[in-house]
Structure 1
Amino acid sequence: MGSALRNAKQPQLNPNWAQLCKKLKSHGTKPYSKATEKSESETPKNVLGKRKERSNAESDDSMPNPLVPTSSDCSVTDAIAMDCEMVGVSPLGNKSALGRVTVVNKWGNVIYDEYVRPVDRVVDFRTAISGIRPRDLRKAKEFRIVQKKVAELIRGRILVGHALRNDLRALLLSHSKKDLRDTSEYQPFLNREGRSKALRHLAAEFLGVKIQNGEHCPVEDARAAMLLYQKYKKEWEKSIKDFIRLKEKQKKRKQKKKPKEGEAVNLNHAKTVS
């Protein structure tokens, strides 16, 4: 009686459907459905996509750009870095004139960044390198105003940069040699022949960053120079102090070799008598 009731409750399957299920089971596959197709086609892609996104995120976090300031402090610090971009003046455009000057503090934050209107007519904007365009100089500040401001900023401070002699020449300014930190002259940054390397090569070699790919950015260049200085500040400052001590010793030796005033008079008197 019980088995009869159980048989009555079980639905009668279509013989064809039962045969298909048996065949699929023997092949180890599941019956086809749109839900199955969707899950099989989308799941691997989603997993791979998440892995790829996670990998990129991790690589970005593990390799931050060292030129991005880690502080928001925009104060004028005891050490500042400067970079200038030039435009071409004179009939042939082969004479350089100041077109833009940027100054950053020791954290790399910009404390001064101005386009400059040269006194002479600009013949070549040198946009491919300088990044300066005619529109940038239409409302640019006069040279003497920028010159005065930069002179105030660098006075009594350590000035960092690359080939600073060119920047100071363009500004018609001078700076105490003991307060200059030029990455083009620091001995560990020179090549085997003792010649200076380009700033982009120093940035790639010592900082692991690429700069000056096309138009130059004075903000980026000034930050790179400052970062190079900060990274090797201890050794750099020690070499400056050692150099100053050496110069002082040499100066004292020269002074000792000079005859005293009384001795010089006696010597001349002796020559006259003889």
Structure 2
Amino acid sequence: MGSEVKKKNPKQLPLNPNWAQLQQKLKSNDSIKPPRNSKTPQAETQKSVLGKRKEREETESEDTKSNPLIPTNDDFSLTDVLAMDCEMVGVGQGNKSALGRVSLVNKWGNVVYDEFVRPVERVVDFRTSISGIRPRDLRKAKDFRAVQMKVAELIKGRVLVGHALHNDLKALLLTHPKKDLRDTSEYQPFLKEGRRKALRHLASEFLGVHIQTGEHCPIDDSRAAMLLYQKNRKEWEKSVKDQIRLKQKQKKRKQRKKPKQGVPLDAILHETSS
């Protein structure tokens, strides 16, 4: 009796839906796998960041070239040469000037001192359109005496550069040795037919930059004066030394030509009486 044995197929279990979805996703990723030599998103991102950084550095470099007043380093130390500029406000009837702000930069144009100043007298005209000073700037400003003492300390024994420095020193009630003053308003090569030029005209002509187009910035003005000095420093210092030598020679000549003092009248009377 032949009996036919039928093999029973094992019962298949249904796939977990999450597992089926994962398998489908893996197959899809394999089909769009990038070639071996293609750039990864990470490399693209890195290149993008580096590109932006390089672009930013190039832009900053172009800005520095286009505006020579921007310092090329971050050295804020006190140097043997400082440039100063002051902004004034109106006191009294408004026609009297008083110090409202003073700025000093070192030979690289970095700010070593910049303070708003509260005048002794009441301010009646802030002259904002020129000075750039507003009432809020002077509310917590330093007293005039404190600023005066600090500026005197900073410029002592140093060459002081600026434009029409006699006005700034007058506002500060300070003096400075003439041999240590480098005034861009008085430097011979900057004069036109013996007449002084405004700092903005000198900056435009010799530096190719525009300043004082609106409210004045004493930092920019100080930097402009310093740059004008630095570009002409060798010739400028030579002319100062020549002037000092000339004055010394003239002084010696005057001393030689000085007439001898006559015999005192008392001595003459004494001789005749004896």
State the partner residue of 1:75: 77
Shift of 1:59: 10
Is the 8 Å Cα contact of residues 117 and 144 (structure 2) preserved in structure 1?
A: yes
CA distance in 2, matches of 1:75, 1:59: 23
Cα separation, partners in 2 of 1:102 and 1:57, compared to 1, 3 Å:
closer
* In structure 2, distance between residues paired with 1:62 and 1:172: 36
Q: Cα offset for 1:259?
A: 3.7
Q: In the alignment, does 2:175 pair up with 1:165?
A: no
Give secondary structure in 2 for the equivalent of 1:236. helix
Shift of residue 57 of structure 1? 6.0
Shift of 1:62: 8.9
Consecutive unaligned residues of structure 2, counting only runs of 5 or more, are 1-54
Aligned with 1:169: secondary structure?
A: helix
User: Residue deviations 1:65-117, cap 9 Å, x none?
Assistant: 110111211011000000000000012x0100000000000000000000000
Cα distance in 1 for residues equivalent to 2:91 and 2:64: 45
More divergent stretch after superposition (252-261 vs 124-133): 252-261
Identify the residue that residue 184 of structure 2 maps to in structure 1.
183
Listed as ranges, the matches of 1:97-136 within 5 Å are 97-136=98-137
Q: Report the TM-score, using the length of structure 1 for normalisation.
A: 0.73
**What's the offset of the Cα at 1:140?**
0.2
For the structure 1 residues 251 and 101, does the alpha-carbon distance in structure 2 shift closer, same or farther, using more than 3 Å as the test?
A: same
Amino acid at match of 1:75: S
Mapped to 2, the partners of 1:187 and 1:102 lie a distance apart of 25
Compute the displacement of 1:64 (Å): 3.0
Query: Structure 1 residue 258: deviation in Å?
Result: 1.7
The answer for the alignment partner of 1:64 in structure 2 is 66
AA of the residue aligned to 1:103: L
CA contact (8 A) 2:83 2:162 kept: yes
Which amino acid letter does the alignment assign opposite residue 204 of structure 1? S
Taking structure 1 as reference, are residues 71 and 96 closer, same or farther at Cα in structure 2, changes over 3 Å only? same
Which structure shows the bigger proportion of residues in helix conformation? 1
Give me the TM-score of the superposition, normalised by structure 2: 0.73
Matched to 1:130, the amino acid is S
SS in 1 for 2:237: helix
What letter is aligned with 1:129?
I
Aligned positions of 1:118-267 closer than 5 A: 118-192=119-193, 194-260=194-260, 264-265=262-263
1: CA distance between counterparts of 2:81 and 2:169? 16
The aligned residue for residue 84 of structure 1 is 86
Structure 1 gaps, min length 5: 1-52
| Aligned partner letter, 2:235 | E
- Could you tell me how far apart the structure 2 residues matched to 1:128 and 1:182 are? 25
Q: Given the superposition, is the C-alpha separation of residues 82 and 65 from structure 1 closer, same or farther in structure 2, using an over 3 Å criterion?
A: same
CA distance in 2, matches of 1:257, 1:265: 18
Q: For residue 206 of structure 1, report the CA deviation from its aligned partner.
A: 0.4
Partner of 2:9: none
Confirm or deny: 8 A CA contact 2:116 2:142 kept in the other structure: yes
User: Larger Rg: 1 or 2?
Assistant: 2
Total equivalences in the alignment: 215
Q: Percent identical across equivalent pairs?
A: 75
Q: What SS does the corresponding residue of 2:66 show, helix, strand or coil? A: coil
Distance in 2 between residues matched to 1:251 and 1:59, nearest whole Å: 52
Aligned partner of 1:121: which letter? R
